[in-house]
Amino acid sequence: MVKYRIAPSILSANFAKLGEEITAVIDSGADFIHFDVMDNHYVPNLTIGPLVCEAIRPLTDAIIDVHLMVEPVDRIVPDFAKAGANIISFHPEATRHIDRTIGLIKEQGCKAGLVFNPATPLNYLDHVLDKLDLVLIMSVNPGFGGQKFIPEALPKLKAVRKRIDEIGKDILLEIDGGVKVDNIAEIARAGADTFVAGSAIYGAGRDSDPHRYDSIVAAL
């Protein structure tokens, strides 16, 4: 029996009351808090960094799942580890030495994830899959919440699911972008076990609503 996890993306939350919005999704049962870090360089948007991670750490024991959309990667990793991140994921195009970055994340006591944009080939997994704790498949181009799910992510999920099952290691398979009530079941069938959801949980008004969270879980 697969354990499914929901990772609300606080990118879509109301930042004027971020603490409350995090507590609300945790109370609804969220296992992860997905923390989108954008640098206006690797992606055309600018969001939050280690200071905000440190500020929210005392609010919850849930996993803080940091998605780095920054270039370069390595110099910000220790800051996130100190700020209480549990998982740190990065894009292979954003670092010169993928294996070194994975090692650095683990040395800092965090779990390591590798992220695949819609057009990033899966062969970046070839020599590192067994060192990873998480593989994140992007189903939108990174940079913004509220985009439409790109269906080519489904065969990619299936391919990664197969590779993870073949090596038999406990590696999370996460999907990020456009996850909604009407597609989450199909995404789960393709092999994902961890579902980032931003706008589906926080809505257009950026305020969480337990009904929206419950509908996502019920649709799984």
Annotated binding site for a divalent metal cation: 34, 36, 67, 176
Contact 15, 203 (CB under 8 A): no
One residue of 21, 22, 36, 213 binding ligand DX5 per CB under 6 A: 36
Q: Is 145 in the site for ligand DX5 (CB under 6 A)?
A: yes
Taking CB under 6 A as the rule, does residue 77 contact ligand DX5?
no
Q: Is 177 in the site for ligand DX5 (CB under 6 A)?
A: yes
Tokens of 114: 């590798």
Cite the annotated binding site by residue number.
9, 34, 36, 67, 143-146, 176-178, 198-199
Query: Which of 23-31, 95-103, 121-129, 192-200 is the region at the interface with ligand DX5 (rule: CB under 6 A)?
Result: 192-200
* Residue closest to 128 by CA, chosen among 160, 155, 94, 176: 160
Looking at 39, 65, 176, 193, which residue is catalytic? Answer: 176
Residues within the annotated binding site for substrate?
Answer: 9, 67, 143-146, 176-178, 198-199
- What is the crossing angle of helices 210-219 and 18-28, to 10°? 40
Q: Provide the 3-class DSSP secondary structure of residue 175.
A: strand
143 scored as a contact of ligand DX5 (CB under 6 A): yes
Q: Is 36 a catalytic residue?
A: yes
* Nearest-angstrom CA–CA distance, 110 and 133: 10
DSSP annotation of 148 reads P
Task: Between 87 and 164, name the residue whose CB sits nearer to Zn ion.
Answer: 87
Min dist CB 10 to ligand DX5, Å, is: 8
154 or 179: CB nearest ligand DX5: 179
- Position among 5, 67, 91, 156 found at the interface with ligand DX5 (CB under 6 A): 67
For residue 176, indicate whether it is catalytic. yes
Q: Are 136 and 87 in contact (CB under 8 A)?
A: no
Contacts of 172 (CB under 8 A, 6+ apart): 5, 113, 133, 134, 135, 193, 194
Confirm or reject binding of residue 88 to ligand DX5 (CB under 6 A). no
Return the amino acid letter for 107. E
Q: Which residues are catalytic?
A: 36, 176
